[in-house]
Structure 1
Amino acid sequence: MAPPRNERLFEPNASIVLVGCRGAGKRTLGFLGALHLRRRLVTEDHYFEKVTGLSRGQYLARHGRDRFARQTIDVFRRMLDANRTGCIIECGMSSFNQEAQDVLREYSKTHPVVYIHREKEQIASLMDAADAQQLLEADGTHRSCSNFEYYNLHDSATPIAASASVSGTSTPTNGRQQSGPSKLLCVQEDFARFLDIITGRGAAKAWLESPFSVAAIPVEFRAYSYALRLRLSSLVGVDLDWDDFEASADCVELIIDHWPDDLMNVIARQVALIRRYMGVPIIYHVEENPRGERRRPPEEKNPMDAELLELGLRLGVDYISVDLQRDEALVHRVLQRRGRSKVIGNFWHMGLGALPWQDDRQIENYRRARALGCDIVRMVRFCVNDSPAEYLDDFKKRVHETFPDPKPPLVAYDFSVLGVRTPLQTNILAPVKHLGMENGRDHLATVSHASHAFEMNFRQFLLDPLQFYVLGSNVSYSLSPAMHTAAYDFNSMPHSFRAVSCATLDSLNQICSADTFGGACLTAPFKVAVMPQLKVRSAHADAIGAVNVLLPLRGRTGAVLDHANARNRAGPARGFFGDNTDWSSILTCLRRAISPRNHVQPSKTTALVVGAGGMARAAIYALYQLGCRNIFVYNRTVRRATDVAAHFNRWAALQAAAAPPTAPTTATGPTQNAGGMCRVLTSLSEPWPEGFQLPTIVISCVPATSVDGNPPADFVMPLDWLRSPTGGVVVELAYEPLVTPLVAQMRAVRDKMCPSWVVVDGLEVVAEMAIEAFELMTGRMAPKRIMKEVCRKTWESQQQRRALS
């Protein structure tokens, strides 16, 4: 039995088309998507003007409605045909035309065509009520000519005012200007996650760059993973505090057990809410017997279930759950339309007389799921004290011995009227519920919260309490111990975290050689010195030439996945892994703070990095990942700045040489400056270099207090360098003191010269570093909100103690 051909597996570089009604946010999403994927943004309005030499309004006035309609369809066809790869294509109102929709249906056989929609109230607020009603009624036809859809969840931000490459022209701004931090960060992250799923670039890219990151290891291949079961019937009409769901599980299983009015849009919105507020993979499951619905005959129910399952695939969920005991045509349809969503094949043995684990038909069920091409096989059985745990253990052993690798991971467990059997019988996708949600009829989610389930592993001595550290010559003031300890408490982990001052590799090695060593955050002087001792390094650490996170390798084999899954276990280390989270923490803060007016344009945007140490290297790398290709470096010791600039110029040249020859060279794509990406400034008294825009990004990587006997940097910017008419963002990495001379200067500049400057203080960056380090060290999601609160409170307590001493 061969699996059916996957009809929605498109080429990774196939152009992506966005359709939807006016006000849905297609232009904004197109711009954000083009930046994320490094593609050209093509809009129908600009393409029409490029082809005809007239705007749409001018063409209509000059040639009349009939000729305008014919020309519009002709341009529409040409636009799609001429931009088949490397583009994000934003369609205008032409997509409402029946002929254009026929063109889109044909195009969707080889390309992703994404229907963009949002809350009806948001669209209605942008136009006359009668026009909005008519437009929204017609908008539903976009589902029939698209193969994906994205629910653009409302974000209370000023619409983006940006310019981008649009078929060789510039997109004009809409006249509105936004100062202060970008509030489009949520939209940007949501849409980026969606694009990564439908293009298949997410997990693979994360694994190649940093195999210990949470995003790099799919939930089915982790040592332990937990699925939070959320029923649609429990979510609709309930005012949830989504902050309470943070880090509550490794993934969410959204169970469609209810058919409310406007069902498709309700489901799309719930998927969008989970994607935004939890940021974890989504399993989409359509329950066979919806709550409150009459039982329907198969000829009536199967088409509805097929439509609901198709919706899950259209929404780009990570996993689609399908019951293999259902109608074969339904199963075949899901497998045929799966795209890049993984398929979980289910066998539910419910009620008295459930098929025993020792029955040969259970092996045959697994064989069938494997033959169909399921990525995961889930087998769940109702038991009444008739199935000792040994029966299931024997079945798992038979599966392991019968089927050669690679084979789909098996999720198998018993449950009863009292709930799922504990200790949990499956290490992966173990079902859990949220503390504040009632069980209702869900007997598969009686264990509350992933942290409670994870704690059982320590109680059963499957995992071990470990000791973690921040190590360096001057770490007495570190905020890391408080943040990591709060995260351990949240996740019910019996680990400890201490700050230990040491300055030699011998002392570092002595700490790291202990069997209970779990990992360490490194500061000076170890970030570069420890590199030669590492058995494995992330691609980021290699590029930067420094590490700030050190982990022991304790896997039984040499496989990196085995090492990653050995986290939270004691024993002799086979070697060490090094990663760098300095750069990604800086990048996160930049993305959060850069306003749409100052979006990064590789050929134009200019940045300044102050310093030439390990943090400066991380800052340059973050700017490169952000897309900036004009980076100036200033350091009191010019030679060190020259060395750092030369390192990254060589590295960037290698990246450009290794880029695929078909990669588009556009304003939103990779570029390489003839003079190199990094340039050195030798003096603060000189005017800003000619031919370059004034900096809109400034990152200070120098200490504000005395370190190792050296005087503090006390860096401030020349005022002439701060005259960017659109302001920009300044990131100050020092936080002792929090208000450094640079922060004080920028506050004054913001008050007196330009209110559009955004200042990011050192506590924001250090909190992000701790969050990423915790996830690398433990393999568990970090409670970000809690760690950020602890960071601020701990710093404030330190200041109070110093004031009293």
Structure 2
Amino acid sequence: MAVEEALTTAPRNARLFSPDASIVLVGCRGAGKRSLGFIGALHLHRRLITEDHYFHHVTGLSRLDFLRKHGKHEFNRRNDEVFKRMLDEHRHRAIIECGMSSFSDEAQDALRMFSETNPVVYIHREKEEILRLLESADGERILRADQKHRTCTNLEYYNLHDPSRSEAALSHDGSTTGPWDSHMATPSSLLYAKQDFTRFVDFITGQGLVKLFVQSPFAVKAIPPEYRQHSYSLRLRLSYLLHMDLEWDDFEARGDCVELIIDHWPPNLYDEIAKCVGLIRRKLAVPIIYHVEECPREERRRSAEEKGRMDTELLELGLRLGVEYLSLDLQRKDIPIQRILALKGRSKIMGNFWNVGFLTTPWSDDGHLRDYQQAKALGCDLIRMVRFCSGDSSVEMLREFRARVDALIPDPKPPLVAYDFSILGIRTPLQSRILNPVKHPLMENERDHLATVNTAASCLSLLFSQGELEPLHFYTLGADVSYSLSPCMHHVAYDYTGMPHTFSAEACSTLEELNLICSDTSFGGAALTAPFKVAIVPHLKLKSHHATVIGAVNVLLPLRGKTDVILDHAKSRNRAGLTSEFYGDNTDWSSVFTCLQKSIRPRNYVRASKTTALVIGAGGQARAAIYALVQLGCRNIFIFNRTLSNAQVVADHFNNWAYKEGMTPGKGAISKICHILPSVWEPWPQQYEQPNIIISCVPATGVNGQPPADFEMPLQWLGSPTGGVVVELAYEPLITPLVAQMQVFRDTRNPAWTVVDGLENVSEMAIEAFELMTGRLAPRKLMKEACRKTWEQQRRERSSMSTTT
């Protein structure tokens, strides 16, 4: 069935807002608006406007004082007036947190008007959590009234409970750390909420993927699934997610995205869907294809009109939740397709054609081509065409249909997802290169015939066995890699994802040796250690933005694309051949960044003008650590290194970069970001706070005949009253002199210090290197477990050898 003849052009996108449009957050007290507002303001470098503070600014009185002085009637009138003024004066480059005023009818009318030009986000969360935080007998009534916020907003965000908010946002003297409510934790304590919400606001503003691709085009998440070499859609039904028999960790890296299928209408349906979307984002961190299945079994008694209305509301809910993809059945006549298309915002529309039954037309029929043309005219970003196969259509016919689309439809063409299926499942996973439907290997498929057999791993394994992809060899290369943990982590990831690659650690110390290994046609990529991280940089034609700024590379990739387009090179991963050039990236910085994010306690959240950090060393890892600190927001960084000239080179490099980027305008306290400490005997500079972030970037074992590092912190540099975090990058041995010292110091002097050992950092590096090298999502939990187990096994073997000797 073709699309209705009237639907021939794409409607205007009414929800594509300016990237600098102010974002408004509404919801009831306890939903976490202010915490999220602060996170969003820091991330987007915007002003945070809170309604309480603005009311005091305009009237000179707090809300309570104004109510007491002028009475309820005058307070309500003035409150609505100030609310409208707040919106009108802050239409650009702000995050606006609304208080209880948003419950009034007049305020909600103002929000509806504001939502025509700006994102207005309804923030809500678990009912139990809200009731606990409200501590009010009127909690149920407030929650019912809170549902009205859906009528005056155009987006919504389900603020899942974050276990990392268990510590209160208190400074060392016990006072609150800013103009926030007592339920708010600092951004550094809200690790998971911060990750979720920053991705959400990146999506709203449209800057997420563009920024990722510009900075590191080989990063898996920088390339949308429809443009990847091969991609798979993990199908999860709402009815299953409400009563899961697997853990979320079991679904990690099982697909490039999740297709959330709304097949069930439970009580409190909207909130259940919103929560499931939030859980997928937090637990799996992959894009979501949101699909509303027509007529759930238990709702077949409803009239066609009622079902159409409900499905329309559910589709609009998906767009409100900011899903990356909305699956839209273009054959249905009971839903307003033009209206859905007009509300798409930054979500991509996947136009669907379901050709089911035993009399479906073959791929050679011109009707399929007309359907594709009409979906393109409607502005669909992707087109999915699925056909029930009863033995009357060969695999070659689908291939010929794709060729016709390529030949007859002018560019730009929406990516096509097309495959045959039967009661046994999809005919072959090689039919569609992108967004093949897959399942978890342990999941039942009583209701789903599109993914009965295939898993992402089985699909990839088939691609390798048929020669579409080729086994490659990957390496860790450096002067001392004998105890590298990378091979074990990469091999468990290869097994998990169905790729027959190999990974080994090879000792080499010259660029000639490095070039010999990397010139092999089966070379897939390498993790670089000393002495190559800085030495390789002048020899690389292409580098990521991160590697360019840092001036060091720790991941080397071959470029085998047939054009100069970087996306073509990214799609050539997992294929052998001659290498013309090499690409360099840096994961040292992001692994340090992740370790710091997870370990910094609320009392030590990073403040640009006050937070002080110490980096020990001046090599490639030290450069990455400094870059990580800058990305975290730190602007007071001290370097200690035995050779002062090396430390000065690194400091000058980052000070020059910071000046060009406008981070050090020369006004106020911050004139440069990096400073040199000449000696461990020096007292800590009085004009700076004692360091509460310490990163050791020196090897614990000797390199090139040099003695191992034996650095310990001078006691006069350990005066931070709120403690801090120490990140040790060396892991062989695991307990370095610094780690041993800080563990004792923590246990005997100041328990507020956190010590992060080298295994945490090296596992994060391996995870990112795996994704850069293969273009596949990494099984993070599995790789981290392999890292710890292998290190323990190596330790036992060394201990046994030592005892024998």
State the TM-score bracket (shorter-chain normalisation).
over 0.9
Shift of 1:804: 1.1
Tell me if 1:134 matches 2:130.
no
Do 1:252 and 1:280's aligned partners in 2 also have CA atoms closer than 8 Å?
Answer: yes
Shift of 1:16: 1.0
Shift of 1:83: 2.0
Q: Could you tell me which residue of structure 2 aligns to residue 284 of structure 1? A: 290
Q: Give, in whole Å, the separation in 2 of the partners of 1:420 and 1:59.
A: 66
Letter in 1 for 2:655: N
Q: Give, in whole Å, the separation in 2 of the partners of 1:357 and 1:671.
A: 68
Give deviations 1:451-470, integer Å, cap 9, x for gaps: 11111100111111100000
Do 1:28 and 1:160's aligned partners in 2 also have CA atoms closer than 8 Å?
Answer: no
Q: Give, in whole Å, the separation in 2 of the partners of 1:787 and 1:217.
A: 23
Q: Give, in whole Å, the separation in 2 of the partners of 1:115 and 1:182.
A: 23
In structure 2, relative to structure 1, the CA distance for the partners of 1:649 and 1:182 (3 Å cut) is closer
In structure 2, relative to structure 1, the CA distance for the partners of 1:295 and 1:445 (3 Å cut) is farther
Q: Could you tell me which residue of structure 2 aligns to residue 90 of structure 1? A: 97
In structure 2, relative to structure 1, the CA distance for the partners of 1:170 and 1:100 (3 Å cut) is farther
In structure 2, relative to structure 1, the CA distance for the partners of 1:306 and 1:329 (3 Å cut) is closer
Q: Specify which of 398, 405, 409 is matched with residue 403 of structure 1.
A: 409
TM-score (norm 1): 0.95
Q: Could you tell me which residue of structure 2 aligns to residue 80 of structure 1? A: 87
Q: Specify which of 592, 596, 599 is matched with residue 602 of structure 2.
A: 596
Do 1:381 and 1:414's aligned partners in 2 also have CA atoms closer than 8 Å?
Answer: yes
Tell me if 1:644 matches 2:640.
no
Shift of 1:617: 0.3
In structure 1, list runs of 5 or more residues that go unmatched. Answer: 660-664
Matched ranges for 1:614-763 at <5 A = 614-656=620-662, 674-763=670-759
> RMSD between aligned alpha carbons?
2.1
Shift of 1:280: 0.6
Matched ranges for 1:779-794 at <5 A = 779-794=775-790
Matched ranges for 1:175-190 at <5 A = 184-190=190-196
Do 2:524 and 2:557's aligned partners in 1 also have CA atoms closer than 8 Å?
Answer: yes
328-337 vs 644-653, which moves further: 328-337
155-164 vs 19-28, which moves further: 155-164
Q: Could you tell me which residue of structure 2 aligns to residue 112 of structure 1? A: 119
Do 1:115 and 1:149's aligned partners in 2 also have CA atoms closer than 8 Å?
Answer: yes
Do 2:609 and 2:670's aligned partners in 1 also have CA atoms closer than 8 Å?
Answer: no
Tell me if 1:541 matches 2:542.
no
Shift of 1:615: 0.4
1:41 partner SS: strand
Shift of 1:515: 0.6
1:253 partner SS: strand
Q: Specify which of 50, 57, 66 is matched with residue 59 of structure 1.
A: 66
Q: Give, in whole Å, the separation in 2 of the partners of 1:609 and 1:291.
A: 61
Q: Could you tell me which residue of structure 1 aligns to residue 509 of structure 2? A: 503
Letter in 2 for 1:764: E
Q: Could you tell me which residue of structure 1 aligns to residue 51 of structure 2? A: 44
Q: Could you tell me which residue of structure 1 aligns to residue 760 of structure 2? A: 764
In structure 2, relative to structure 1, the CA distance for the partners of 1:584 and 1:366 (3 Å cut) is same
Do 1:653 and 1:672's aligned partners in 2 also have CA atoms closer than 8 Å?
Answer: no
Q: Give, in whole Å, the separation in 2 of the partners of 1:634 and 1:777.
A: 33
In structure 2, relative to structure 1, the CA distance for the partners of 1:603 and 1:674 (3 Å cut) is closer
Q: Could you tell me which residue of structure 2 aligns to residue 374 of structure 1? A: 380
Q: Could you tell me which residue of structure 1 aligns to residue 5 of structure 2? A: none
Q: Specify which of 117, 123, 126 is matched with residue 130 of structure 2.
A: 123
Tell me if 1:272 matches 2:268.
no
TM-score (norm 2): 0.95
Letter in 2 for 1:79: M
Q: Give, in whole Å, the separation in 1 of the partners of 2:387 and 2:638.
A: 63
Give deviations 1:412-464, integer Å, cap 9, x for gaps: 00011111102431010000111222112211112342111111100111111
Q: Could you tell me which residue of structure 1 aligns to residue 214 of structure 2? A: 208
Letter in 2 for 1:227: S
Give deviations 1:333-386, integer Å, cap 9, x for gaps: 111000111110001101121122111111110001111111101000011000
Give deviations 1:520-573, integer Å, cap 9, x for gaps: 000111111212222211011110111000011111222111110110001111
Give deviations 1:504-525, integer Å, cap 9, x for gaps: 1111111011110000000111
Matched ranges for 1:63-462 at <5 A = 63-128=70-135, 130-158=137-165, 161-162=168-169, 171-172=178-179, 184-294=190-300, 296-327=302-333, 330-462=336-468
Q: Could you tell me which residue of structure 2 aligns to residue 471 of structure 1? A: 477
Q: Give, in whole Å, the separation in 1 of the partners of 2:564 and 2:457.
A: 29
2:386 partner SS: strand
Q: Could you tell me which residue of structure 2 aligns to residue 532 of structure 1? A: 538
In structure 2, relative to structure 1, the CA distance for the partners of 1:157 and 1:538 (3 Å cut) is closer
121-130 vs 725-734, which moves further: 121-130
230-239 vs 759-768, which moves further: 230-239
1:49 partner SS: helix
Q: Give, in whole Å, the separation in 1 of the partners of 2:496 and 2:667.
A: 44
In structure 2, relative to structure 1, the CA distance for the partners of 1:400 and 1:630 (3 Å cut) is same
In structure 2, relative to structure 1, the CA distance for the partners of 1:163 and 1:527 (3 Å cut) is same
In structure 2, list runs of 5 or more residues that go unmatched. Answer: 1-7
Do 1:36 and 1:192's aligned partners in 2 also have CA atoms closer than 8 Å?
Answer: yes
Shift of 1:104: 0.8
In structure 2, relative to structure 1, the CA distance for the partners of 1:344 and 1:163 (3 Å cut) is farther
In structure 2, relative to structure 1, the CA distance for the partners of 1:467 and 1:671 (3 Å cut) is farther
Do 1:161 and 1:173's aligned partners in 2 also have CA atoms closer than 8 Å?
Answer: no
Q: Give, in whole Å, the separation in 2 of the partners of 1:777 and 1:437.
A: 29
Do 1:163 and 1:173's aligned partners in 2 also have CA atoms closer than 8 Å?
Answer: no
Tell me if 1:795 matches 2:775.
no
Shift of 1:29: 1.3
In structure 2, relative to structure 1, the CA distance for the partners of 1:57 and 1:177 (3 Å cut) is closer
Do 2:311 and 2:335's aligned partners in 1 also have CA atoms closer than 8 Å?
Answer: no
Q: Give, in whole Å, the separation in 2 of the partners of 1:108 and 1:798.
A: 59
Q: Give, in whole Å, the separation in 2 of the partners of 1:170 and 1:716.
A: 32
Shift of 1:239: 4.8
1:685 partner SS: coil
2:112 partner SS: helix
Do 1:7 and 1:337's aligned partners in 2 also have CA atoms closer than 8 Å?
Answer: yes
Q: Give, in whole Å, the separation in 2 of the partners of 1:197 and 1:173.
A: 26
Q: Give, in whole Å, the separation in 1 of the partners of 2:692 and 2:184.
A: 15
2:123 partner SS: strand
2:137 partner SS: helix
Q: Give, in whole Å, the separation in 2 of the partners of 1:281 and 1:695.
A: 39
671-680 vs 787-796, which moves further: 671-680
Letter in 2 for 1:97: S
Do 1:151 and 1:272's aligned partners in 2 also have CA atoms closer than 8 Å?
Answer: yes
Shift of 1:79: 1.8
1:5 partner SS: coil
Give deviations 1:383-423, integer Å, cap 9, x for gaps: 10000011111100000001122210100000111111024
Letter in 2 for 1:676: K
Q: Give, in whole Å, the separation in 1 of the partners of 2:652 and 2:441.
A: 54
